[in-house]
Structure 1
Amino acid sequence: MAEVLRRLCGLPMRTACAVVAVVLLAAWLPLQAAAASLGDVASPDGRLRVEMALDDAGRPMWRLLREGREAVAPSPLGMVGEGVDLSQGLVFAGVGPVQPVADDYELLSGKRRHNEYRANRRVFRWKDTQGHGLAVAWQVSNDGAAFRYELERAVPGLQTWKRDAATFRLPAGAHAWLQPMAEPRTGFARTNPSYEEYYLQDVPVGTPTPMGHGWVFPALFRSGNDWILLSEGSLRRGDAGSRLLDGATPGEYLIGFPDGREALPGGAALPWIGAFPWRSPWRIVAVGDLATVADSTLGTDLADPPAVAAPSVPGKASWSWPLLGDDHTVFEVQKQFVDYAARMGWRYTLVDALWDTQIGEDRMHELVDYARGKGVSVLVWYNSAGDWNDAPQTPRGRLLDHASRVREFDRLKAMGVAGLKVDFFGGDGSSMIAYYLDLLADAAPYGFQMNFHGATLPRGWQRTWPHLQTMEAVRGLEFATFEQANADRVPVHAATLPFVRNVFDPMDFTPLAMVKLNDRVQRRTSPAFELAQSVLFVSGIQHYAETADGMAQVPEYVRAFLTGLPEVWDDSRFLDGYPGQYAVFARQGGGRWFVGGINAGPGPRKLTLDAGRLGGGVQRGLLIVDGDDAPGFARRRVEFGPGKPLELELPAAGGFVLQLD
């Protein structure tokens, strides 16, 4: 054959042989994969398929196909623990039947109220030479696939996991949007890691992590027409939050466990097994076109159902701290922010750090009573404390164990407080994850609405713990107030978040600074860009950074728009965009659609809105854009429909909102 090829193509013999070898290998590998296949499981629509195999080293292998294309190349699975290696040297022990999965649930703190999850499930089993079994459960839906490990019987002596052998081998030519994991016990008052770094934008896979500690979830990839979002979900007690690590070749990413410094004093960092049968968190692979990934709800579809009957009470909140700082956490200012929330029709006001010393418990009781008379509920801030941070803000040291939490929660309940914001956690170690869960479990009987800052990724907890309204885990607006370099990066950063951080989980970015940030920093976004974030960013409780004085300076129609935003989104859909460049999303609530769009580019961008994506027919509504109405808005009534789309041009770092009738 080589000689034939050489004569036909004019190639030297050695080159021809090399070409033939590649051709033959390419033809042989699929046959080998098929011969070694242990079974597969497809999505309900048949467009996605996971195939399982066992390699010569006895390693379970998987790959993911989308419409016949390889979205994830053959990659190993398995777990390594104390005295047991369930990642290699295994033998196949059988596969169960394909079983349909159907789950319908309501979620008030996300982008869609009523959710329907449909998938096919199949469980594959292996054994090691000692007879210890490992099961891998796959669930494949139309928007992605997920797997988790299961131990159906006890493994003697196994208590702690050392390593997850799972990898994700993405195409070598893929590009990525990745946030580096910060080094533990660094940054402000040793409060890292807090998932507060900037995303690398559209970089080739294989780009090394700049901080040397891997990448946080979620992580977004593009390979041709395929978009892939990797994450994890459904962490229980004993689990640790994991991250991605760079593999040996471009496109390969490993699962990494937390650094030993990411634990409570004397507590564990690595995941441990409390009881058998045991199961791991889900490893999630959302895959499809960009709209499929951006609209996916896999992070909550795969989460455990509610663990408690605690009420979920979403809402909007006024908040003095981001633009005014610690010095304004005093009674008179907080009373003004209660009045501000009442005028705007918002449910909450958040009283931030130092309320215990600058207001005091007696006057806080007075403030809560005053707010109740205005129809406003009060949220209060706490330092998670412990020796993992040096942050001096108080209250501190009051939530570290069950007894102290009950004392504090009894006091807060008697005061009439509605919820807590707990800040400055210490990473992803299993003992730290257990601390989050303890806080949620102890707060539930009191009906407190919870918000975690300086925190890890929620990973679907908002479904399991309905009173968890939001978590930070993002470089939010506050960073833009600290220095100009951060403010300069807001446009690109904000246009990235709807495609990564905010896809599955509520995000307390604390948006909306329409007038100015402060006297030190110049805002780089337009007023309409800021306003659009009220629609783009999803959070069960949305804390708005704009002050009462700033809100008084915007046109009445802007205030009316913000007053009319619903507390719960019934539906959401991606309309247009590209991560880090621009984003346009529509969200429905209260029987009407709201659309928000931002342009992060250095120049203007033209957009077209199709009425068919918003219910069809002729659509009418109020459009708010950048303009000449102080401090920089304009409005007009619009009408668009079949054959007549709405055409817009957004300025650099500009935005718009549209409220349909």
Structure 2
Amino acid sequence: MKRILLFAILSLCLTACGGGEEYKLRSADGRTVVTLSLNAERQLRYRISRDGKPVLESSRLGLKLEDRDLGSDLYGLTASVATQVAEDYTLHQGKQRKVAYRTNQRIFQVENADEQKLEIVLRVSADGVAIRYRVPGDRRYKVREELTSFDFASDSRAWLQPAAVAQTGFANTNPSYEEYYRMDIPVGEASPSEAGWVFPALFHTAGGWALVTEAGMDGSYHGSRLQPDAPGGEYRIGYPMAPEKVTGGALMAQGELPLESPWRIIAIGDLPTIAQSTLVTDLADPAVAAMPWVKPGLASWSWALLKDDSVNYETQKRFIDYAADMGWPYTLVDVNWDQNIGYDRIAELADYAARKHVRLLLWYNSSGDWNKTEFTPKSALLTREQRRAEFARLQKMGIAGIKVDFFPGDGQSVIAYYRDILEDAADFELLVNFHGTTLPRGLHRTFPNLMTMESVRGFEFITFEQENADSAPKHMAMLPFTRNVFGPMDFTPTVFSEIPGIERHTSNGLELALPVLFLSGLQNIAETGEGMAQVPGYVRDYLGDIPVAWDESRLLAGYPGKFAVVARRSGDTWHIAGINGEDKDRELQLDLSFIGPRVGELITDGKTPRQFARSEVETGSAVAVTIQERSGFIMKFPAADLAQN
């Protein structure tokens, strides 16, 4: 009774003494401002503006655990002084090799009537805002509800991907982030799926563009999304569905206090700022080890066009020869290799590949009994003992890495399973590619051996149904602004041949642009050796020398779902890649003066969309480019000394 009376008195005092005090934190350039306060209902609220215009209106913060409510009836809001966080780090792959993260930070604290505390860590940087929760203590916890919301003004627009309902789709393998984005829809429009909307979620507001996602997953928290309904444009954190867990594993976040949640991230700015943001890796845990043996690169891959029947000894030998001819370091051997080829003959293939300076990547089924898939090897990675025995065998055979498929969703036990696989694979110097999967969420910084994750409606879907081929150009033009902003994406790009039973709606110029436009530590190229032999030698030469780790990246032009043009630098060589997803030509004036005076090459479509044309191009402040409908191009500007040779 005394405690309740004390808080009643404190409540009156706060109200009488100016309760509802607001705290602010600004980015170093002063453009982005976050305001945090306790409202009259004693709920934590925050809002965000950029250049004085609203990005988020008053939105909610808070957590509810099984044994405590840290979202309502809160008291005693305090704030630390603002400090700067500075961190420099290096990535093995992606849009920017060396990153200098600079952000301003304040830590806030509130408590409920039982004196149970909640900390909110707030960071504001030039490219956005990040928020995470901390709950001190020393007892077990389980998250019941997270109250975080993102309230967008009613005149904002949204680009959102529905979450697939768990246990639907092929062999009950959903969800796997493989739906189409709904483009330019009103905020507040309900998801067509009861599972909600996935991250990253893109919005256009009066204060600029905002891309919402999460990072900093240590295996103790579930993966989150947005709830299906957003009344008044207020989107709330959503949760994995009940089946999204490994057998016998946890669904929601649980463990021993102290609790530290993932970061809730809102990248903010114009489209170049969004596309160039490194917030997800900035906020991920540092690398567990340096892993100097990690080598990103391109791979040949038979399954994309030739499917299951291609996974045999002779075909894989041809694809090893193909990779060697192209100068690519890897060949990916897909499903059922253990049955169709066997471990002993895979070891022979690995030896054959090694003599040609190529290494093998092998497919695995992650699944236990959580879906109906039958592809093998299956259930070989479920326990640490199984994994380490399998990985030791692969290492002895000289295998470079693994592709692991068919995960059950976003439950806490699944997020932990990803990390367990990566940790054990690293011990045996194995690269990892996750398919049928969730988002990377910065894990490729923490585990440099994580080369890529699918988490996209990629090329294989085009081979399945005509409607996917029909939608491909706009879909491809959407991805540089959403899915691929924050992590490697195994779209498996680039086909110049015709696709059996499918009418392709992308030109050869567009297909050529994709391995530069899309970011992935492993680029598994879909075209076959026979198809590649039919294109001009200068195209093969270009594809044989594409980096997958870039020193610098810039968005030069674009709009979500319409077109995208990016510039990427490796060393002193610049690559420019552009695609047009629309059914009409687009004329552009590109400012390439940042490269300096150089002469390079331009490769685009010839007289038909199935041909190529090459010409000379010079840098400048207004380089004219016409991208035909559903087409694309590449430019390459070598280092000045190389260009003269």
Distance in 1, Cα, partners of 2:260 & 2:24: 21
Distance in 1, Cα, partners of 2:148 & 2:619: 49
Corresponding residue number in structure 1 for 2:429: 447
Runs of 4+ aligned residues of structure 1 deviating over 6 Å after TM superposition are none
Residue 267 of structure 2 corresponds to residue 286 of structure 1: yes
Corresponding residue number in structure 1 for 2:253: 271
Relative to structure 2, which stretch is displaced further, 358-367 or 620-629? 620-629
Q: Residue type of the partner of 1:472?
A: E
Residue 627 of structure 2, aligned match among 636, 647, 650 = 650
Distance in 2, Cα, partners of 1:594 & 1:301: 25
Corresponding residue number in structure 1 for 2:33: 49
Distance in 1, Cα, partners of 2:37 & 2:548: 47
How far has the Cα of 1:622 moved from its partner? 0.3
Residue 289 of structure 2 corresponds to residue 308 of structure 1: yes
Relative to structure 2, which stretch is displaced further, 325-334 or 561-570? 561-570
**In 2, are the aligned partners of 1:555 and 1:629 still within 8 Å (CA)?**
no
Corresponding residue number in structure 2 for 1:528: 509
- How many residues align? The count is 621
Corresponding residue number in structure 1 for 2:44: 60
Residue 353 of structure 1, aligned match among 329, 335, 345 = 335
Corresponding residue number in structure 2 for 1:659: 636
How far has the Cα of 1:248 moved from its partner? 4.8
**In 2, are the aligned partners of 1:620 and 1:640 still within 8 Å (CA)?**
yes
Residue 84 of structure 1, aligned match among 44, 68, 79 = 68
Corresponding residue number in structure 1 for 2:555: 574
How far has the Cα of 1:116 moved from its partner? 0.9
Corresponding residue number in structure 1 for 2:456: 474
**In 2, are the aligned partners of 1:54 and 1:92 still within 8 Å (CA)?**
no
Corresponding residue number in structure 2 for 1:627: 606
Please list every run of 5 or more consecutive structure 1 residues that lacks an aligned counterpart in the other structure.
1-31
Distance in 2, Cα, partners of 1:509 & 1:336: 23
How far has the Cα of 1:246 moved from its partner? 3.8
Corresponding residue number in structure 1 for 2:128: 144
**In 2, are the aligned partners of 1:176 and 1:205 still within 8 Å (CA)?**
yes
Corresponding residue number in structure 1 for 2:143: 161
How far has the Cα of 1:568 moved from its partner? 1.6
Distance in 2, Cα, partners of 1:489 & 1:641: 34
Q: Residue type of the partner of 2:464?
A: F
Residue 421 of structure 2 corresponds to residue 421 of structure 1: no
**In 2, are the aligned partners of 1:86 and 1:134 still within 8 Å (CA)?**
yes
Residue 170 of structure 1, aligned match among 146, 152, 158 = 152
Q: What SS class does the counterpart of residue 339 from structure 2 fall into?
A: helix
**In 1, are the aligned partners of 2:55 and 2:206 still within 8 Å (CA)?**
no
How far has the Cα of 1:310 moved from its partner? 3.1
Distance in 2, Cα, partners of 1:484 & 1:318: 24
**In 2, are the aligned partners of 1:606 and 1:648 still within 8 Å (CA)?**
yes
Distance in 1, Cα, partners of 2:522 & 2:480: 17
How far has the Cα of 1:264 moved from its partner? 1.0
Corresponding residue number in structure 1 for 2:91: 107
Q: What SS class does the counterpart of residue 583 from structure 1 fall into?
A: strand
Q: Residue type of the partner of 1:94?
A: T
Q: What SS class does the counterpart of residue 489 from structure 1 fall into?
A: helix
**In 2, are the aligned partners of 1:246 and 1:252 still within 8 Å (CA)?**
no
Q: Residue type of the partner of 2:165?
A: E
Q: Residue type of the partner of 2:637?
A: L
How far has the Cα of 1:68 moved from its partner? 1.2
Distance in 2, Cα, partners of 1:593 & 1:315: 18
How far has the Cα of 1:62 moved from its partner? 0.5
Please list every run of 5 or more consecutive structure 2 residues that lacks an aligned counterpart in the other structure.
1-15, 639-645
Q: What SS class does the counterpart of residue 557 from structure 1 fall into?
A: helix
| Alignment RMSD (CA, Å) | 1.4
Q: What SS class does the counterpart of residue 502 from structure 1 fall into?
A: helix
Residue 571 of structure 2 corresponds to residue 590 of structure 1: yes
How far has the Cα of 1:588 moved from its partner? 0.7
Distance in 2, Cα, partners of 1:654 & 1:222: 26
Corresponding residue number in structure 1 for 2:12: none
How far has the Cα of 1:516 moved from its partner? 1.8
**In 1, are the aligned partners of 2:313 and 2:341 still within 8 Å (CA)?**
yes
Distance in 2, Cα, partners of 1:516 & 1:73: 49
Residue 592 of structure 2 corresponds to residue 611 of structure 1: yes
How far has the Cα of 1:444 moved from its partner? 1.0
Compared CA separation, residues 199 and 629, structure 1 to 2 (3 A): closer
**In 2, are the aligned partners of 1:206 and 1:246 still within 8 Å (CA)?**
no
Q: What SS class does the counterpart of residue 560 from structure 1 fall into?
A: helix
How far has the Cα of 1:207 moved from its partner? 1.4
TM-score in terms of structure 2 length: 0.94
**In 2, are the aligned partners of 1:555 and 1:630 still within 8 Å (CA)?**
no
Residue 209 of structure 1, aligned match among 182, 191, 205 = 191
Q: What SS class does the counterpart of residue 197 from structure 1 fall into?
A: coil
**In 2, are the aligned partners of 1:554 and 1:630 still within 8 Å (CA)?**
no
**In 2, are the aligned partners of 1:329 and 1:355 still within 8 Å (CA)?**
yes
Residue 189 of structure 1, aligned match among 155, 171, 176 = 171
Distance in 2, Cα, partners of 1:402 & 1:649: 54
Q: What SS class does the counterpart of residue 428 from structure 1 fall into?
A: coil
Q: Residue type of the partner of 1:397?
A: S
How far has the Cα of 1:629 moved from its partner? 8.1
Residue 53 of structure 2 corresponds to residue 69 of structure 1: yes
Distance in 2, Cα, partners of 1:522 & 1:444: 41
Relative to structure 2, which stretch is displaced further, 253-262 or 627-636? 627-636
How far has the Cα of 1:659 moved from its partner? 0.4
Distance in 2, Cα, partners of 1:127 & 1:370: 64
Corresponding residue number in structure 2 for 1:372: 354
How far has the Cα of 1:225 moved from its partner? 5.7
Corresponding residue number in structure 1 for 2:617: 638
**In 2, are the aligned partners of 1:351 and 1:378 still within 8 Å (CA)?**
yes
Q: Deviations over 1:326-371 (max 9, x none)?
A: 1010011101111111111111110001110111111100000000
Q: Residue type of the partner of 2:595?
A: G
Compared CA separation, residues 438 and 640, structure 1 to 2 (3 A): closer
Q: What SS class does the counterpart of residue 281 from structure 2 fall into?
A: helix
How far has the Cα of 1:247 moved from its partner? 4.4
How far has the Cα of 1:38 moved from its partner? 3.4
Residue 403 of structure 1, aligned match among 385, 389, 393 = 385
Distance in 2, Cα, partners of 1:515 & 1:74: 52
